Structure 1
Amino acid sequence: MKRPVILVGLAILVVAVVVWRNYPAPSNNAASGKPLAQVNVPTLTGEAKVGEAAFDDNCASCHGPDAAGQDGVAPPLVHIIYEPGHHGDQAFYLAARQGVRSHHWPFGDMPPVEGVSDQDISRIVAYVRALQRANGIN
């Protein structure tokens, strides 16, 4: 009975350490809007290329160009926290449709994204996943 509790506690501790080690240090100017991640942008094709435009139209104002995040505004999506094994593609659909309560980052709640279609979200996910792969996040 104690073993599952210990394993769950250990898993939570590992996740907390990964988040803490990968979380950017706070800046003196909390709303500077500076990128929070350095993103290598690959040559994009197909859905990922179309997704770049959809991301720019619907997400970049908060999550920054190339999903690098913005200090004091929103987190980078090119970050290990958003790897497919932790935040699957469905998480992006739910975030866009329903918004997200603040849980990994201190930016506050994310509101729903008005007017974004499922097709747009699918393309945005393709774009974000292409950026993640190009930056070693699989």
Structure 2
Amino acid sequence: MIRCKRVYEAIEDQDGQRVLVDRLWPRNKRKTDLHGQWLREVAPSDELRKALHAGALDFAGFTRRYQQELAAHPEHWYPLLDLAGKGDLTLLYAGKDTVHNNAQVLAEWLEAELDRRGPGSSPVCYGQ
């Protein structure tokens, strides 16, 4: 199962492998507190991230463009498929919006890839 969770939330047994998928390190979070990996290259480009935060893109536009970036660079997200195939995977993000974030888009992308390869599970993002 692939979950999405704010990096500031408590670590839980069901988190499985934890991977931070933001380009920037979260404020007030020590690296030793992550208890997982940081894959900044799988995050949206700086240009795309800034366009969303500035309001130049709505979330649907952000999603389309982020999916294009993901399609162009499978080497960035392919290791996540391996982790998801071995057990629970939690994609961590720092943003306050629990519904409209890059981790949600990435989880849906990974689930679609897993479905193409065989049986999968649906992404779960806390706060929905």
TM, length-normalised to structure 1: 0.26
In terms of fraction of residues, the more strand-rich structure is 2
TM-score under structure 2 normalisation?
Answer: 0.28
